[in-house]
Chains A and B, each alone.
Chain A
Amino acid sequence: MDTFVQILVSGLTLGAMYALSTIALSLVWGSLNMLNMAQGALLTIGGYISFAAITYLGFPLFLGLVTAAGTGVLLGLAMYFGIIRFMFEKDGFETNVIIATIGLAMMMENIVLKAFGAYPFQQPFAVDGGFRLLDVHIPYQNLVIIGVSVGMMVATAWLLGHTRLGRAIRATAQSREAALLNGVPVRRIFAQVLALSGLLAAVSGVMLSSITTLAPTMGYDPLLKAFIICVIAGLGNVAGALYAAFLLGMFEAGVQYFLGVRFGFPALLLLVIIALIWRPYGVFNRRKVARL
């Protein structure tokens, strides 16, 4: 029974980490058809900004999180005004933006490296302690990241489905030209989505680093896992990504225990292959339905 509880807790924790990694990527991919390779670097910067604000500036924990979120918004806007607005109306945007954001990611990672060094730090935004369920210790911090990941996913889904901004984003996602013809300010929508994704990525980075550690390369692994989840859930399916993240987390934890830890990641890749063959539009997407 202890073993079952341990696997359940590990699976939920992994699922929450994957959900946090995925949310901003899924939003941008779904609404702007833009594969943001700088997503991992945005997570990293969010984590470091929180660390710097709390450790060096003496901010309270919550204000550290707010500072990171604000920085994420600014970075998202900077990405739009500095790069994306020059590209998104031109042919080949979907391909060109991949190259551009890879370059951006490298630049951001090296800025972090120069500013903080390669030395790993502990994220101060963390809740100490835990409780026992049977003989399994469950840290409070794990519950925090599970709650935050679900909360952010639900809030994003609500924003997309029940607000004026969400309608405009969905219209842009379905057809940029049609949205423009109907008076949707597509340029502003791009900027707003990137600002929102910057906020989500920064907060996710703070949460992720609270149970991993801060390091300049901490964004690589979440970015990779986010791709897997987006492919399985269906590109740009935000709600589906939430389900997929937790299902895959549970699946991976089970594989790690019963088959060996080294088989966890290959098993995820195998699922991607099966998903691409069986439902290439995503497990949670209906055929020929627009993104989001």
Chain B
Amino acid sequence: MRRKSDGKGTETTARRPLENESRRRFIKGATVAAAGGVAATGTLLADINGGAKAAGKPIPIGGGVPLTGWAATDGIEFKRALELASEEINAMGGILGQPVEPVFEDTKEQGAANIIPAMQRLIDRHEVHAIINGYNTGAVTAEYDTIADAGIIYIHHNTDIVHHQTVGDNPERYSTIFMGDPAEYWYGPGLLQFLNDLDANGLYKRPNNKIAIVTGSQNYSVVIANAIRDSAAKYGWDVSLYETVVIPISEWGPTLAKLRSDPPAVIAVTHWVPQDLAQFMLQFAPTPTNSLIYMQYGPSLAAFREIGKAATDGVLYSTVIGSLQDKIGQDFSDRYRAKFGDSSTPAVGAQVYDSAHYYAIAAALAGGTGGPGEFDQNAKIAARLRRQIHRGVVGTTKFSIPEQAAIPYPDATNDPSLGMPHQYLQIQDWQTEPALVAPSPYQTKQFKMPPWIKA
């Protein structure tokens, strides 16, 4: 059984949407549509361009990303992804025959003090027609007014529920601003539904209804922890521990002592720093409890497995945006690694890559791009983006209205063709890539019982 939602948190139960047969059909259809390489959009953009070659004055497309500072590793992937997408767009004739040219400004340690000036420089100095970013943290939509004043298209992946409130409350003012991924809030109810699905499908029989929540002190972690806590009762769970840790943290002894004194069925750690989470697993492993362990974001980085090694086998995590492990996603990863090397991380770059492609299509369909101050043209592109459904390397992107944020599947829609898959992954062997265990139809492997759980 699976939850059915109207996208506003009202859920009922419904039959699991796709069984194996329809799963195969869905994947096959999507793969055909993708024409085996640059997602379906590639063909579409080339068709709109009518065979035109990209020539003439380039259209500047901005990336305000952290190229230095603590998030530089991800920021460099965002830069690479925009460069790769731009090359591909130009190979298809650019946008109505005009090439796109990526330009970048460093948001450094992020926060409003760095992000707003970076956006301002992109607009004033480079006169960009759109800004397509990965994530920046700490500004909490403070940069939106800078964008709204210029009227250009802004697509980011800040995974921030505040976007819903800011744009939802004032959709006219912020009509050109889109969040290309679902808000972090969805990690909460999504996890609880995933756990209930495991139970319903006989993959994990929980020994009790207790869930322990361990969160970091950053807004991202707290929003997710609170979403789990506030939704727990509705999904049949009791919160046995809600612990906030101060980061960075490497000594988990007191927290583990509490968990061991009252073992829960599930430990959900919403603190996200990979090295801290790896230390948790290293200290948990010698004296484990019979609990599933779910962690936020950190396990998606190879550093988590490299530091925690075999102690990380069995850990679950999820992401609301990332390249899929299907043919479309794999082809993208291969192209990305071929260009940027084996140490590059296409899973991180995927978000910017997809957004650049669907922006190019929307702009081409709207009759061209619009620079700062060209409000009418950008309004046409924004209207096109609101109507558009895009199947890219991260799955489907469709924006909710009026929030203009990607709709998550199956958290807010039970139709995979209308929502971005909220992917659940499990580290089954720390020396290989994690397995995508949900949602159907994208899953590639079955959930495995963690090695520390005794039957």
Hey, which bits of chain A sit against chain B, CB under 8 A? Answer: 2-3, 6-7, 9-10, 13-14, 17, 110, 113, 117-122, 130, 132, 135-137, 211-213, 215-218, 221, 253, 256-257, 260-262, 264-265
Decide: B254 and A261 in contact? CB cutoff 8 A: yes
Decide: A137 and B307 in contact? CB cutoff 8 A: no
Q: Return the chain B residue nearest A253 by Cβ.
A: B254
Stretch at the interface among B69-77, B133-141, B436-444: B69-77
Decide: A120 and B286 in contact? CB cutoff 8 A: no
Decide: B253 and A118 in contact? CB cutoff 8 A: no
Stretch at the interface among B146-154, B190-198, B255-263, B361-369: B255-263
Q: Return the chain A residue nearest B286 by Cβ.
A: A137
Decide: A113 and B287 in contact? CB cutoff 8 A: no
Residues of A within 8 A of B255 (CB): 256, 261
Contact with A along B253-281 (1 / 0, CB 8 A): 11111101100000000000011101100
Decide: B287 and A136 in contact? CB cutoff 8 A: yes
Rounded to whole angstroms, the CA-CA distance of A265 and B253 in the bound complex is: 15
Q: Return the chain A residue nearest B246 by Cβ.
A: A265
Rounded to whole angstroms, the CA-CA distance of A36 and B211 in the bound complex is: 45
B73, B248, B253, B307, most chain A CB atoms within 10 A: B253
Q: Return the chain B residue nearest A256 by Cβ.
A: B254
Q: B217 on the interface (CB 8 Å rule)?
A: yes
Decide: B303 and A119 in contact? CB cutoff 8 A: yes
Chain A nearest CB from B110 CB (Å) reads 13
Contact with A along B296-330 (1 / 0, CB 8 A): 00000001001100000000000000000000000
Rounded to whole angstroms, the CA-CA distance of A221 and B217 in the bound complex is: 15
Other 8 A-B pairs with CB < 8 A, given A120-B275, A120-B303, A137-B283: A6-B254, A7-B253, A10-B251, A211-B279, A253-B253, A256-B254, A261-B246, A264-B246
Contact of B257 among A3, A216, A218, A265 (CB under 8 A): A3
Chain B nearest CB from A265 CB (Å) reads 5
Residues of A within 8 A of B217 (CB): 262
Residues of B within 8 A of A9 (CB): 253
Rounded to whole angstroms, the CA-CA distance of A119 and B305 in the bound complex is: 13
Decide: A10 and B253 in contact? CB cutoff 8 A: yes
Hey, which bits of chain B sit against chain A, CB under 8 A? Answer: 68-73, 217, 243-246, 248-251, 253-258, 260-261, 274-276, 278-279, 283, 286-287, 303, 306-307
- Known contacts A113-B72, A264-B246; A6/B257 CB under 8 A: yes
Chain A nearest CB from B257 CB (Å) reads 4
Decide: B253 and A211 in contact? CB cutoff 8 A: no
Chain B nearest CB from A220 CB (Å) reads 8
- Known contacts A3-B261, A120-B307, A262-B246; A213/B278 CB under 8 A: yes
Rounded to whole angstroms, the CA-CA distance of A216 and B253 in the bound complex is: 25
B254, B255, B278, B286, most chain A CB atoms within 10 A: B254
Residues of B within 8 A of A2 (CB): 257, 260
Decide: A117 and B250 in contact? CB cutoff 8 A: no
- Known contacts A13-B251, A212-B248, A262-B246; A117/B257 CB under 8 A: no
A2, A6, A7, A9, most chain B CB atoms within 10 A: A6
Rounded to whole angstroms, the CA-CA distance of A221 and B245 in the bound complex is: 14
Chain A nearest CB from B241 CB (Å) reads 10
- Known contacts A120-B303, A122-B306, A257-B254; A110/B68 CB under 8 A: yes
Q: Return the chain A residue nearest B250 by Cβ.
A: A212
Q: Return the chain A residue nearest B248 by Cβ.
A: A221
Rounded to whole angstroms, the CA-CA distance of A140 and B244 in the bound complex is: 28
CB-defined A-B contacts under 8 Å, sample of 22: A2-B257, A10-B251, A13-B253, A14-B251, A17-B251, A118-B70, A118-B71, A118-B73, A119-B73, A120-B274, A121-B306, A122-B307, A137-B287, A212-B275, A213-B275, A213-B279, A213-B303, A218-B248, A257-B254, A261-B246, A261-B249, A262-B217
